Amino acid sequence: MAKKSILVIEDNHAILDVITLILESEAFNVAGLNNGINFLNHVQEFGPDVIIMDIMLPDIDGRELLKELKETASTSHIPVLMISARYHANNYVLNGIHADDFMAKPFNFDELMDKIYALLKN
């Protein structure tokens, strides 16, 4: 069975490094970005099975990236787990963000893995 791939977009280098190490220890192929520059190009080149994306990025709002991803035919099927320190699940839904799942920071890595495996099953 081929390794599953996960693209992580997180501007905090320490968080990005920890998520990457954990995912690699679970035998995923992982690519990390710390900004949204050329986001769709990275998605199309890497071909992730799941995307983990921070809402608050330095150059563009994660909601804009999510909208662009979901409105592009070749990437609209990719499940997205949004993460944020400022948003809570209720605000997330009320603000009309249509990701596949959400986690507030700080988060538990067991819960992160549970959510990733659930997204991979869908």
Per cent of the chain over pLDDT 90 is: 52
Kindly report the CATH number assigned to the domain that includes residue 74.
Answer: 3.40.50.2300
Record the tokens describing residue 42, joined without a space.
């990275």
The residue range of the domain holding 84 is 5-121
Q: Which pTM does this prediction carry?
A: 0.90
Q: How far apart are CA 20 and CA 9, in angstroms?
A: 11
Question: Mean pLDDT throughout 87-114?
Answer: 76
Q: How far apart are CA 66 and CA 90, in angstroms?
A: 18
Per-residue pLDDT tens over the stretch 44-71: 999 999 999 998 888 888 888 998 898 8
Q: How confident is the model at residue 89 (pLDDT cuts 50, 70, 90)?
A: low
Mean pLDDT of the chain: 88
Question: Mean pLDDT throughout 89-111?
Answer: 75
**Number of structural domains the chain divides into:** 1
Nearest Cα to Cα of residue 58 among 26, 37, 86, 35: 35
Give one word for 52, left, alpha or beta, with left for phi > 0 and alpha for psi -120 to 50: beta
